Amino acid sequence: MTVIPSAARDLSLGQPGGWFRLREGQLALPLALAFLSLFLAPLLMLCGVSFFEDDKITRPGLGTWAKFLGDPFTWKVIGDTLLLGVKAVITTMILGYPLALVFMDAGPRLQKVLIFVIVMPLLLSVVVRTFAWIVILGREGVINQALLGLGLISEPLKLLQTELGLVISLTQIEMPLMLLPLISVMSRLDPNLRDASAALGASRWRTLFTVIVPLSMPGLVAGCLLVFASATTAFISQTVIGGVRLIYLPLLIWQQSLVVFNWPLAAVASLTLLISVLSVVGALSWLGRRSGGYVHG
C-alpha cells in the first residue's frame, strides 16, 4: 500500500473517485475569505485613512502623522499607556506568582477549588469587575469605610480617578491572564526536581530561584504578554476608574473617532497603539524564546 501525503490527499465526497473532488486545505477557504473581507480589508482601510490630512478624508498626505507625532502631549500619552501596562504586569506578577507556587504544591482537591476561583473572574464581564472596584474604591467604598472606621483617616481618600486606584483594579482584573499560563507550565514541572534540590541541601528560596523560576520562564513571559496587552487597551477600566483626566491611548482613540469625528487622527492614534503594544509584546516574546522554552499564548 502506498502512503499518500496527507496534505495532498483528495477528498471524495460520496463514492471514492466521485465527481466532486476537493483538496483538504480548501476547507479553510470560507474562513480565509471571511478574514480577507472582514479583517484585512478594514485594517488596510484604517492604514489608508491615516494618510489623509483632513477629517473629510479628501486630502492625502502625511500631515496627520506629522502633527500627531510632533506633539509632546502624544508622547506623554504613549508613555503613560505603556507604563500603565508595565505597572499592571509587575503587580500581577508579585501576587500571581506566589499563588501559582501554592497551586503547584497543593493537593488535587485544593487545586480544583483554586483553579475554579482563578478562572471564574475570567468568565465574568470586565465591566462587572470594573464596577466592583467603584464600590471598593469610591468615597463611600469599602476601603474608605474601613479606614474611617479604624480612625486611621479623617477624610475619605480619593482613590477613584487616580492611577493608584486604576493599577489596584487592573491587578485583579488582569490576574487570571497571568495565572493561567503560569499554572499551565508549573503543573508540568517534574516534582522530582524540587525534591532533588531539597535533598541536596538547597533551601526553598534557593530552589525557587535556581530551579522553579528558570523552568517556569515560558509561562511567566506568556502571562506578562497577556497582562500587558490587556491592561494597555482596557478602555472600560481606564475610563471608569481612571476618569477622563488620566488620558491613555484608548480614550484618545475613542474621543477622536466618536466624539470629535476626526477619523484620520483616530486612525493614526489606533495604529500607534497597535505598533507600541505589539513591539513591546514582540520584544518580550523574543526574550522569552531566548530564555529557553517557547511561549504559548
Partner 1 sequence: MSSMGRRHSLADISYALVIGGLATLALLIIVAPVVIVLMTSFTEGRSLKFPPTGFSLQWYEALFDPSKSRQIHRAATNTLEVAAWSTLIGVVLATLASLGLARSRGRLARVADGLFMSPLVLPGLTFGLAALMYFTMIGLRPSLNLIIAGHMIVTVPFILRTTTASLSQLDPALNDSSQSLGASWLYTLRRVTLPLIAPGIFAGAFLAFMASVDNVPVSLFLSTARTDMLPIRMWGMMESTLDPRIAAVSGVLIAAAFLLMLLMEWTVGLTRRMRD
Which residue from 78, 82, 84, 118 is in contact with partner 1, where contact means CB under 8 A? Answer: 118
Give the CA distances from residue 224 to residues 64, 77, 231, 257, 278, in Å, rounded to whole numbers and listed in that order.
Answer: 33, 21, 10, 30, 13
Q: How many helices (H) and strands (E) would you count in the chain?
A: 15, 2
If one asks whether residue 40 binds partner 1 (CB under 8 A), the answer comes out as yes
Question: Is position 83 an interface residue for partner 1 (rule: CB under 8 A)?
Answer: no
Among positions 6, 58, 154, 192, the unique one binding partner 1 when judged by CB under 8 A: 6
Does residue number 140 form part of the binding site for partner 1 (CB under 8 A)? yes
Q: How far is the CB of 272 from partner 1 (least distance, A)?
A: 10
> According to CB under 8 A, which one of 117, 164, 196, 287 is a site residue for partner 1?
117
Is 130 a binding residue for partner 1 by CB under 8 A? The answer is yes
Which one of residues 224, 231, 240, 284 is an interface residue with partner 1 (CB under 8 A)?
Answer: 240
Question: 237 with 169: CB under 8 angstroms?
Answer: yes
- The answer to whether 221 and 291 are in contact (CB under 8 A) is yes
Report CA 130 to chain centroid distance, whole Å: 16
Strands 21-23 and 10-12: antiparallel
Interface residue with partner 1, options 62, 83, 135, 164 (CB under 8 A): 135
Name residue, grid cell 495565572.
179
Site for partner 1 contains 141 (CB under 8 A): yes
- Which residue of 120, 164, 193, 287 would you call a contact of partner 1, by CB under 8 A? 120
Q: Does 39 bind partner 1 (CB under 8 A)?
A: yes
Residue type, 1: M
Dihedral of alpha carbons 64, 36, 122, 289, sign? negative
Rounded least distance, CB 53 to partner 1, Å: 16
In the three-class reduction of DSSP (H, G, I as helix; E, B as strand; rest coil), residue 10 is classed as strand
Within 157-216, the residues that bind partner 1 by CB under 8 A are 171-172, 175-176, 180, 183-184, 187, 201, 203-206, 208
Return the bridge partners of 10, or none.
23
Closest Cα to residue 230, out of 175, 287, 286?
Answer: 175
Give me the 255-294 binding string for partner 1, x by CB under 8 A, dash otherwise: --xx----x--xx--xx-xx--xx--x-------------
- Using the rule CB under 8 A, is 14 a contact of partner 1? yes
Q: Which stretch binds partner 1 (CB under 8 A): 7-15, 61-69, 72-80, 286-294?
A: 7-15
* Cα 275 to Cα 278: distance, rounded to the nearest angstrom: 5
